Every structure is written in structure tokens, then in C-alpha cells.
């Protein structure tokens, strides 16, 4: 009889959670200070830098924006950033810092890549180590990884301002965006990058190294500016690796220690944002409810993934072992990062089921900024459905939930299955699934379904990898990634803008700041998501599990 996990494994989960929650708690306080404009010692350094940036961009960071204004600036900026990356990828052979003389990417692959990184998805239809120049890695990939993470943080802060109703509006997008970069992401990534270099991850602009191996064969060592990319791609829950094999590739994740450091990095900011929420709404217990709910869902995913014992096998890296590989895979989907440290095909179907749960819920705790945003979407729906049973018009944070809120939350919720299922069905009917070798059995179905689920959830892990570099998948997933990213953001900013001016009545109604509500919320999320996707999970991982497909799909 196997236990699900060994005692040291279980303890390591507890230890990582404890470390992350402690660090996130501290970081949450810092985030609160910088987004509410509290004066600090670091202002002396940051203020002039930010003033310079505002002047270069020609923006006034003190102007209060309407929700429409906020979103328009956000999406236009993202579109321009995406466009810049597209240009760099499409013309990298004419640009400097291309020591390997990689050719230009095709238009559809450039498009897919730019849409993918800018939407914080990082679905990789390109092989980073074998097709991107240093300049592309830096000024297309890393650049968008920073800005998409900053966008996520800005969205969260704006929504928190609106939901709390304590800030007279939702703020100014450029203020949030620039501060996210200068005071959060760049400093944290900088420290993380130096630590990662010290632990063995390359960081150089010298070209790939050609060596003669011990037996005299020739080998190319694909070094490059890796650490600076890995730090932001984990911290920003981007997940797009320097290499196609992502964090399974030893240069991206050389040891068990870097493996844990990278896990902590990807968990850190999404968890800190939850603490930020509690502080911004003026009741830390409200934040704690989200923390407990999201980590409970994360724990449920972990339990599912450990029901079947995973042993080390093909597709996994020896240095991580089976446990860390499973733990990483569940975590990377729970935080919708999407970086992988083993081939997904290495895992038994229940691990894949757990990965699906993370991507379908998107709030376990989910991606940077947007994870808490999805949680708020679920809270609006849950408070509305069950709150009536308390005999009052449902309220959240003292504000009544209006029909308009419900309408918008339903639109956000509804868009998710739509942008997953329609292209999945299209992939089959247009023959695109067959073209990439996805069979008609459950295995093939999982591969295609996972591709669009990952795209819609802005996760980025996938089965297909570079084999999906076809016009159909490049264009379809590109569209899905942007819709999956910006429909919910638009909707939730709109709700927040509306809520910001709503009268508050703090002490009445169903309390949302206790464990009872956390339990109701977890139940409700499970039911809502199960209701939506159960048949497809049955057709995919559950069917594989029942058919006794062990490891490898």
C-alpha cells in the first residue's frame, strides 16, 4: 500500500507554502504602500526615475481614469507592445545580437509568440534555444514578460480600488503600470536573477559555445541571457522559457535547489496580491478568505495528482525526481504560469486532471494579478447566488450586487468555455488536429483540449509544443489567448469602476470574511467549474484514467 506522498515530500510542501505565505505577507505590505502612494525611503531613488518615464511617455499619472479609459489605455499599450515584439521576431535576422544567425520567424509564428507572451500565456510554438536571437529573447520575450506581469498587477490594483470603494475611483493606469515595473517587478527580478546565476543559470551575451566533448564529439552549449528571463518568467507567472524544454532544460533549472527557488518565485506575487487585496479593502480577513479558498483549491488539485503514485520515468528529469515534477506541474497550472520541468506526457492522467482544474478555475491562486481578479468574479457570482438565501439583496464589501454586475460576471464566466470549446471543435472539423498528429481517442482529445484550455487560461503549458507551429494553431490560439486575457479584464474593470462609487453598508448581510464563506466559495467554484467542463474532463483525463493508461499519453 502506497501512501500518497512520503513524509519528507509532504513536509516540503508545507515548508514551501509557509515560506511563500510569509514572504507574500511582507511583500503584500510593500505593494500596499507603493500602490496607495505611501511615502517611503526608496522614493528618493524611484521618484526621479518614474518622473523621467512619465515625461518620456507624456502621461499624467495623477489623472483619475474612468474604467473605460483605464481599460482602453491598457489594451492599446498592450497592442503596441505586442506589435513591437512582432516586428522584432519577424525581422530578427536583420537585427543585432543574433550570434547564431537565426532566421526570421514566420508571420504566424511571430504573431502567435507576440500574442502569447503579451497575454501572459507563454504558449510556446517556437523553440527558444534553437530559433530566437538574443535580441528576440530580450526585447520580445523578456520585455513582454515584464509588461504583461505589470499589466496584471495594474488590473488587480485598479479592481481592488474599485471593489473597496475607498479610493474614489480605480486610479490611473500609467501610475500602476510604471510603479509595477519600477518598484516591484524589476527590483524583484533583479535580485532573483542574480540568485539564479549564482545557482548555475547562465547569463551572458557571448554566443553559444561550441566545444569538443570528452570523447571528441562536438557539442553546442546554448548559453545566453537566461537568468534574467527565467526570473521574470517565474515571478510574472509568464512561464515562457528560454528553451523549448522550458524548466526541464538544465540551463534553465540546474538543480533541486533552483527548482524550489523557481517554485517559490512563481507563487510569490500572486499570493502577495491576495494580501494586497485584504489591505486595500480595509479588512485583511477578506483577503484571508481568498487566500484560504485559493490554497484549498490548490490543495485539492495536489491531492488529485497524488492519488496515483508517479514514479520517475521518461520525460522527467532525474535531478527533480517524481514528486517535485508532479508538484511543479500542479503548481505551474494552479498559478497559471505554464513553465514545465518535465514533459506533460510523462504524467498519469490524474496529474493532468489536476492541471486542468488549475487552468479551468484560474484562481488557485491563479496568475499574477488576474488570479485574484478571477476569484472576485467567482465571489460576485457566489455571493449573488447564495447570498439571497440570507434574506437580503446580496452585498460584497458592503456594496449591493446589481443585475449589471451579475450580467458582466456571467459574460466573463461564459467566455471561458466558449473560447475553449469552439476552437477545439474547429480543430477537429478543419482537420488541424489530425495534421499535428492528434488522434481521435482520448489522448488526442486531451492534447487539443489542453492546448485551447491552456491558451484561454493564459497558462501556456502544452502537449503539442513546437509541433503546433501551424497556421491554424498559431492563429487560433493567438486569438484565444487575447480573448481569454482581455475579455475578463475588461469585464472586471467595468464592474470595479461601477462598484467604486456605490454606497457601502459594512456591517449587514452575509459575512464574506470568515471561514464559512471560504467553504461556500470553494464549493461554489468546484460546482460551477465542474458543471461547465465535467463532460470534457470525462472524455479526457478521466477516461484515460479509467482505461488504465499509466504514464505517458
Partner 1 sequence: MDSDAERGILTGKSAPEEKKPKLPVAKILEESIVRMNPAKLISNPVMFVVELTFFLVGIMAIDPTLFPVVSSGSEQVFYVYVAVILGITVWFSTLSDSIAEAQIRATASNLRKIEQEVKAKKLDGDRKVTEVSSKDLRKGDMILIEKGDGIPIDCEVLEGLAMVDESLLTGESALVKKAPSDVLIGGSILMSDSLVALVSVNPEETYLSKLISMVESSKRPKTPNETAISILLLGLTVIFTIIVAAILWLSIELNLGVDLSVLIALYVCLLPTTIGALLPAIGISGINRMSRDRIIAKSGKSIEAAGDTDSLLLDKTGTITFGNRMATEFIPLGGHSAREVGEASFLSSWNDDTPEGRSIIDLAFREGFVPKEFSSIGRAESMEFSAVTRMSSVKLEDADDFHLPKGGRDILQRRRVRRKYLNPDSGVELEISKGAPDAIKGSVPECPEGFDSTVTEISSSGDTAMGVTVGDEIVGIIRLKDKLKPGIREKIESVKVMGIKPLMITGDQPETARNIASEVGIDNFVSRAKPETKFTVVREEQQGGKVVAMIGDGTNDAPALAAADVGLAMATGTMAAKEAANLVDLESNPAKIIDVVMLGKQLLMTRGAVTTFSISNDIAKYFAIVPIMFASLSVLQKINILGLSPHVAVLAALIFNAAIIPALIPLAMKGTRFKPRSTMSIFLRNAVTYGLGGIALPFIGIEAIGLLLRLTFGGSL
Partner 2 sequence: MKIPEKLNAPLRMAIVSMIICGLVFPVAVTGIAELAFPFQANGEQATFNNTSIGSYLIAQEFTAPVFFHPRNDSASGVDPDIMLSSAYAQIPGISNSTGISSSILHGIVDNFVSYTMFFFGTPYINVLQVNLYLVEHYSSVYSKYVKAG
Q: What residues make contact with partner 1 under the rule CB under 8 A?
A: 381, 384-393, 398-403, 405-407, 410-411, 413-414, 417-418, 421-422, 424-425, 428-429, 440-441, 445, 502-511, 516, 520, 523, 527, 530-532, 534-536, 538-539, 542-543, 546-547
Q: Residue 505 binds what, of partner 2, partner 1, none (CB under 5 to 8 Å, by partner type)?
A: partner 1
**Would you state the cell numbers that stand for residue 15, as one nine-digit string?**
515548508
Of the two residues 290 and 490, which places its CB atom closer to partner 2 in the complex?
A: 490
Taking alpha carbons only, the member of 520, 528, 338, 333 closest to residue 414 is 528
Nearer to partner 1, 56 or 531 (CB): 531
Residues of 294-321 as b/e, b for ≥16 C-beta within 10 angstroms?
bbbbbbbbbebbbebebebeebbbeebb
Instruction: State the binding partner of 168 from partner 2, partner 1, none, CB within 5 to 8 A by kind.
Output: none
CB of 267 to partner 1, least distance (A): 31
Residue 40 neighbours by CB distance under 10 Å: 13
Q: Say if CB 251 and CB 242 are below 8 A apart.
A: yes
Partner from partner 2, partner 1, none binding residue 511, C-beta < 5-8 Å depending on class: partner 1
Report the chain's terminal Cα–Cα distance, integer Å. Answer: 25
Question: What's the CA gap between 549 and 552, in Å, rounded?
Answer: 8
Nearest residue to 264 (alpha-carbon basis) of 527, 16, 11, 522 = 16
Nearer to partner 1, 45 or 534 (CB): 534
Full DSSP string of 366-394 = -STTHHHHHHHHHHHHHHHHHHGGGTS--
3-state secondary structure 141-193: HHHHHHHHHHHHHHHHHHHHHHHHCCCCCCCCHHHHHHHHHHHHHHHHHHHHH
Residue with Cβ nearer partner 1 (176 or 395): 395
Query: Smaller CB distance to partner 1: residue 319 or 400?
Result: 400
**Nearer residue to partner 1 within complex by CB, 328 or 452:** 452
Contact partner at residue 174 from partner 1, partner 2, none, CB < 5 to 8 Å by partner kind:
partner 2
On the question of a cis peptide bond just before residue 365, with omega within 30 degrees of 0, the verdict is yes
Indicate which of partner 1, partner 2, none lies near residue 215 (CB less than 5 to 8 Å, by partner kind).
Answer: partner 2
Neighbours of 15 (CB within 10 A): 12
Q: Nearest approach, Cβ of 82 to partner 2 (angstroms)?
A: 9
Closest approach of partner 2 to the CB of residue 441, in Å: 23
Identify what 126 binds: partner 2, partner 1, none; CB under 5 to 8 Å per kind: none
Tell me how far, at minimum, the Cβ of 540 lies from partner 1, in Å.
11
Q: Which is nearer to partner 1, 57 or 430 (CB)?
A: 430
- What's the closest the beta carbon of residue 401 comes to partner 1, in angstroms? 7
Q: How far is the CB of 542 from partner 1 (least distance, A)?
A: 7
From partner 2, partner 1, none, which one binds at residue 539 (CB under 5 to 8 Å depending on kind)?
partner 1
Work out the number of other CB atoms within 10 angstroms of the CB of residue 57.
12
Amino acid at each position: 500500500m502506497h501512501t500518497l506522498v512520503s513524509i519528507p515530500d509532504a513536509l516540503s510542501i508545507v515548508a514551501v507554502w509557509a515560506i511563500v505565505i510569509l514572504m507574500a505577507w511582507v511583500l503584500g505590505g510593500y505593494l500596499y504602500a507603493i500602490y496607495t502612494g505611501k511615502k517611503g525611503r526608496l522614493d528618493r531613488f524611484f521618484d526621479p526615475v518614474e518622473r523621467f518615464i512619465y515625461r518620456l511617455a507624456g502621461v499624467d499619472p495623477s489623472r483619475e481614469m474612468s474604467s473605460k479609459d483605464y481599460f482602453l489605455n491598457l489594451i492599446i499599450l498592450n497592442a503596441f507592445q505586442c506589435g513591437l515584439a512582432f516586428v522584432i521576431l519577424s525581422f530578427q535576422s536583420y537585427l543585432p545580437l543574433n550570434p547564431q544567425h537565426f532566421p526570421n520567424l514566420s508571420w504566424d509564428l511571430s504573431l502567435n509568440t507576440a500574442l502569447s507572451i503579451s497575454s501572459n500565456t507563454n504558449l510556446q510554438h517556437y523553440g527558444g534555444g534553437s530559433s530566437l536571437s538574443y535580441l528576440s529573447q530580450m526585447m520580445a520575450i523578456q520585455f513582454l514578460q515584464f509588461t504583461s506581469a505589470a499589466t496584471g498587477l495594474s488590473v488587480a490594483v485598479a479592481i481592488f480600488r474599485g471593489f473597496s470603494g475607498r479610493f474614489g475611483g480605480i486610479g490611473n493606469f500609467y501610475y500602476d503600470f510604471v510603479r509595477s515595473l519600477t518598484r516591484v517587478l524589476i527590483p524583484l527580478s533583479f535580485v532573483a536573477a542574480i540568485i539564479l546565476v549564482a545557482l548555475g543559470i547562465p547569463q551572458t551575451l557571448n554566443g553559444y559555445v561550441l566545444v569538443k566533448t570528452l570523447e571528441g564529439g562536438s557539442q553546442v552549449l546554448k548559453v545566453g541571457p537566461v537568468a534574467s528571463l527565467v526570473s521574470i518568467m517565474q515571478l510574472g507567472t509568464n512561464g515562457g522559457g528560454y528553451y523549448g524544454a522550458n524548466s526541464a532544460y538544465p540551463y534553465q533549472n540546474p538543480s533541486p535547489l533552483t527548482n524550489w527557488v523557481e517554485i517559490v518565485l512563481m507563487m510569490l506575487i500572486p499570493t502577495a496580491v491576495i494580501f494586497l487585496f485584504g489591505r486595500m479593502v480595509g479588512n485583511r480577513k477578506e483577503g484571508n478568505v481568498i487566500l484560504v479558498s485559493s490554497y484549498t483549491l490548490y490543495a485539492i488539485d495536489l491531492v488529485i495528482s497524488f492519488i496515483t503514485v508517479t514514479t520517475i520515468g521518461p520525460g522527467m528529469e532525474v535531478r527533480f525526481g517524481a514528486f517535485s515534477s508532479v508538484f511543479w506541474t500542479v503548481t505551474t497550472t494552479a498559478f497559471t504560469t505554464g513553465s514545465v520541468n518535465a514533459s506533460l506526457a510523462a504524467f498519469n492522467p490524474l496529474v493532468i486532471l489536476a492541471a486542468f482544474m488549475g487552468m479551468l478555475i484560474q484562481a488557485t491562486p491563479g496568475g499574477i494579478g488576474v488570479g485574484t481578479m478571477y476569484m472576485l468574479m467567482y465571489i460576485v457570482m457566489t455571493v449573488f447566488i447564495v447570498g439571497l438565501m440570507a434574506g437580503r439583496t446580496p452585498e460584497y464589501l458592503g456594496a449591493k450586487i446589481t443585475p449589471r454586475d451579475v450580467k458582466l460576471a456571467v459574460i466573463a464566466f461564459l467566455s471561458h468555455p466558449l473560447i475553449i470549446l469552439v476552437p477545439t471543435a474547429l480543430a477537429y472539423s478543419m482537420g488541424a488536429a489530425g495534421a499535428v498528429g492528434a488522434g481521435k481517442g482520448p489522448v488526442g482529445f486531451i492534447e487539443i483540449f489542453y492546448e485551447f484550455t491552456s491558451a484561454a487560461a493564459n497558462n501556456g503549458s502544452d502537449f503539442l509544443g513546437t509541433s503546433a507551429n501551424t497556421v491554424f494553431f498559431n492563429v487560433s490560439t493567438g486569438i484565444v489567448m487575447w480573448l481569454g486575457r482581455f475579455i475578463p479584464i475588461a469585464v472586471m474593470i467595468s464592474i470595479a469602476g461601477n462598484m467604486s462609487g456605490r454606497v457601502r453598508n459594512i456591517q449587514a448581510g452575509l459575512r464574506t470574511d470568515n471561514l464559512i464563506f471560504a467553504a461556500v466559495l470553494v464549493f461554489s467554484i468546484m460546482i460551477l467549474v465542474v458543471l461547465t467542463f465535467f463532460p470534457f474532463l470525462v472524455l479526457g483525463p478521466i477516461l484515460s484514467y479509467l482505461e488504465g493508461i499509466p504514464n505517458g499519453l
